[in-house]
Structure 1
């Protein structure tokens, strides 16, 4: 049974130039450059097998990016990006995360705790006690603080001992 020819990709002169710039630019991520090459070769009339052989990729990859290009519109670079992935939904709301950050920046004495500075474990326990979250691990608290570059276990200030006077 004869196979259908792949759909034609027709690029304007400006699109060709912009894609070629992406391919030639050293700062362009390799995956974006490869996708731009796929589109440029498809524009020259090459089929999936020829594109795959030319670029050292699978036919499925050539087919996927040709179809993605034809289905999408708009600026070139976003058309060559990966599609958003579903992933797991966020476990905590932005409000809960911000309350964690605020708590981490406050003195533990505010919460009547007999500690001098916060640890991830103590923050997690206090968030549960305050009813901010139902459950949260100390490790997750540590990751959230690390992402925000907060270090509640470190003190910003220090005291120098007084010099003895003779």
Structure 2
């Protein structure tokens, strides 16, 4: 079977400078090798010789040489990968976390504390996520450091009016109010009391520096 001839490439002066910077600078190893492949190929060398001089497999040399011939420098970057589609939505994960923060007795489950297998089973019975594994539930809980099998008590807000009040907080973190972005001259200030340093009146007068020892000697 005849071998396809190496594709000729002719980088511009600007491209050649960028290739040299990438090939011999402090860059990611993969990008550095790709730039070296293109520089060697630009000298008119065969793919086999470029492979021997730069190190990657012959098919790898042929791939990046062809990508540069078609797309230029943009062809040396990795293409976006779609990846595996998400099996569960963020709402399903949030509902499982909400279930975790409730006592098993509230759902008529004869348990004193939740475990990941039991949470997965209850989530499927309630139709929250079907099917869902215990390892998936464990990963969701790990995102918020939830460990229901070690808890003593929970503060779980069930007030229906809590959400309208609390939703302003994440909006302010995103620099928005009422769905309108804040201006450049508007700021969000968060203040709270430090432990044991409450804002209250002093019971005793403040002593000037150096007088405490004098009072002790008296």
Q: Helix, strand or coil: the match of 2:92?
A: helix
| CA-CA distance at 1:62 after TM superposition | 0.5
Map 1:1-150 → 2, pairs under 5 A: 5-26=5-26, 28-72=27-71, 76=73, 79-85=75-81, 88-104=84-100, 106-108=101-103, 111-112=106-107, 118-146=114-142, 149-150=143-144
C-alpha distance in 1 between matches for 2:43 and 2:7:
12
CA contact (8 A) 1:117 1:152 kept: no
RMSD: 3.3
Unaligned segments of structure 2, at least 5 residues: 154-218
Question: Matched residues in 2 for 1:20 and 1:103: separation?
Answer: 56
* Shift in Å, 1:10: 2.1
- Measure, in 2, the Cα distance between the counterparts of 1:45 and 1:111: 75
How far 1:46 sits from its partner (Å)? 1.8
Give CA-to-partner distance per residue, 1:78-127, whole Å, 9 cap, x none.
633343456544322344334334545x3446953576765322331232
Task: Give aligned pairs, total.
Answer: 150
Provide closer, same or farther for how the CA distance between residues 72 and 92 of structure 1 changes in structure 2, counting only shifts above 3 A. Answer: farther
Structure 1 runs not aligned, ≥5 long? 158-166
Query: Relative to structure 1, is the Cα distance of residues 142 and 51 closer, same or farther in structure 2, using a 3 angstrom cutoff?
Result: same
With a CA cutoff of 8 Å and minimum separation of 6, indicate the structure with the bigger relative contact order: 1
